[in-house]
Every structure is written in structure tokens, then in C-alpha cells.
């Protein structure tokens, strides 16, 4: 191989070009006219492959970022929803206890609490939160209910809901809090 060709390959910076240059130098003087062309073709192919891999990786990064953005937009309010659920529970308990003991003089206060509870539920619903409200007698669903106790109650089947302590909530399609229920463990009938 001539000194001019060796100097040309000494300037090559990619590992692919260096490997090609070594292989060509080993071939001898027969392919002196094709050596630079083969080296350039090999370097071009190596660069093309790296470019395609880089483009594919950047496309994957873009798709991943878009998916993360959509999830953050959809589920970003999970923490604040969890923080607001005790407020909802307290308003619900206040209404339940006031309904038992409310007289005519307390009616305005009870109506105010009812309106506040409805407004809170309306805001939660606007942002994709839906309550899970099981009824007594419904079947226990471990996907959306949490059993706080089991009791063998006559006239019920195992897995029937006996009591609802707290409603559950979903944020779009994710469970924020399961409904807290008591379940029958009656094995007979």
C-alpha cells in the first residue's frame, strides 16, 4: 500500500474505518485502486447505521415523554384527591349524625353541609374522580372493596357486604381508595 493511502487512513477516526483500513492493508497491492472506495463505503454504512439507531432512540424518547406527559396530566391530581377524601368523609359523617338529631333550628346548617358536600363531589367528578358506593347485599369485590371485618350473619351468603364504612374512589381508571366494607363470612345457606 502506498504512503499516500496510509496517510489517508491515518486520518480516519471511526473504529469501523480503522478496521477496514487494516483489512485493506492486508490485501496487498492488488486492490490499491479500490481501497479508498471500500473504506469510504464501509464508513458510510457504519455512519448510516448509527444515524438510524440514533433516530430510532430519539423517537422512542419522544414517545416515552409524550406518554409520561399524558399520565401526569391524567393522574397528577392523585395526591390532592387523597388529601381531600377525609374532608368528604367528615362532611358525610356530619350529615349522617345531623340527620338523626336535627331539629328545625338546625335545618339551615344541615342544608349548608349538604351543599358543601355536593359541591365537593361535583368538583371531584369534574376532574375524573368517581365514587365507589357499594350497597348492603352486594358481592364483595377485592378490586374495589377493602374488607375491614367479617361476621357470620344468618340469612347472608359468604362474601355479601353487610356494612359500608366509607365510600371508595377512582381517579379515571385507577383506584385511589377502596370502599371500606364489612363482609359476611357465613358458610351456611
Question: What residue ranges do the domains of the chain occupy?
Answer: 3-74, 76-127, 129-189
- Which of the 8 DSSP states describes residue 189? -
Element of type H or E holding 38: helix 35-75
In this predicted model, which residue has the larger pLDDT, 171 or 7? 171
Give the cell for residue 112: 349548608
Helix, coil or strand: residue 187: coil
Q: What is the pLDDT of residue 15?
A: 67
pTM, whole model, 2 decimals?
A: 0.66
Q: Give the pLDDT confidence of 37-81 residue by residue, as tens digits.
A: 888 999 999 999 999 999 999 999 999 999 999 999 999 889 999
Instruction: Characterize 11-21 residue by residue with b for buried, 16 or more Cβ atoms within 10 angstroms of its Cβ, and e for exposed.
Output: ebeeebbeebb
CA dihedral 25, 29, 34, 36 (to 10 degrees): 40
Average pLDDT over residues 1-26: 56
Portion of the chain with pLDDT greater than 70, in percent? 78
Residue 154 pLDDT grade (very low, low, confident, very high; cuts 50, 70, 90):
confident
Asked whether residue 184 carries a pLDDT value surpassing 60, the answer given is yes
Give the cell for residue 148: 375491614
Alpha helices in the chain (DSSP H): 3-10, 15-27, 35-75, 78-101, 107-126
Asked whether residue 157 carries a pLDDT value surpassing 60, the answer given is yes
Give the cell for residue 114: 349538604
Residue 4 pLDDT grade (very low, low, confident, very high; cuts 50, 70, 90):
very low
Q: What is the pLDDT of residue 104?
A: 67
Q: Give the pLDDT confidence of 82-130 residue by residue, as tens digits.
A: 999 999 999 999 888 887 666 666 788 888 889 999 999 999 999 999 9
Which of 13-17, 18-22, 32-36, 119-123 has maximum average pLDDT? 119-123
Superfamily classification of domain 129-189 = Head domain of nucleotide exchange factor GrpE (2.30.22.10)
In this predicted model, which residue has the larger pLDDT, 154 or 17? 154
Q: Give the pLDDT confidence of 133-152 residue by residue, as tens digits.
A: 999 999 999 999 999 999 98
Amino acid at each position: 500500500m502506498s504512503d499516500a493511502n496510509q496517510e489517508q487512513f491515518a486520518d480516519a477516526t471511526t473504529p469501523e474505518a480503522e478496521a477496514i483500513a487494516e483489512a485493506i492493508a492486508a490485501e496487498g497491492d492488488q486492490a490499491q485502486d479500490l481501497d479508498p472506495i471500500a473504506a469510504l463505503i464501509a464508513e458510510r454504512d457504519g455512519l448510516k447505521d448509527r444515524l438510524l439507531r440514533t433516530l430510532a432512540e430519539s423517537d422512542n424518547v419522544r414517545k416515552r415523554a409524550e406518554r409520561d406527559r399524558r399520565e401526569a396530566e391524567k393522574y397528577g391530581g392523585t395526591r390532592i384527591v387523597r388529601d381531600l377524601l377525609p374532608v368528604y368523609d367528615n362532611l358525610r359523617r356530619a350529615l349522617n349524625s345531623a340527620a338523626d338529631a336535627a331539629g328545625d333550628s338546625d335545618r339551615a346548617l344541615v342544608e349548608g353541609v349538604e351543599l358543601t358536600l355536593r359541591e365537593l363531589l361535583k368538583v371531584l367528578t369534574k376532574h375524573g374522580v368517581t365514587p365507589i358506593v357499594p350497597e348492603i347485599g352486594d358481592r364483595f369485590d377485592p378490586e374495589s372493596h377493602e374488607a375491614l371485618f367479617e361476621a357470620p350473619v344468618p340469612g347472608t351468603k359468604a362474601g355479601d357486604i353487610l356494612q359500608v364504612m366509607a365510600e371508595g374512589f377512582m381517579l379515571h381508571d385507577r383506584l385511589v381508595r377502596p370502599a371500606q366494607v364489612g363482609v359476611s363470612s357465613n358458610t351456611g345457606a
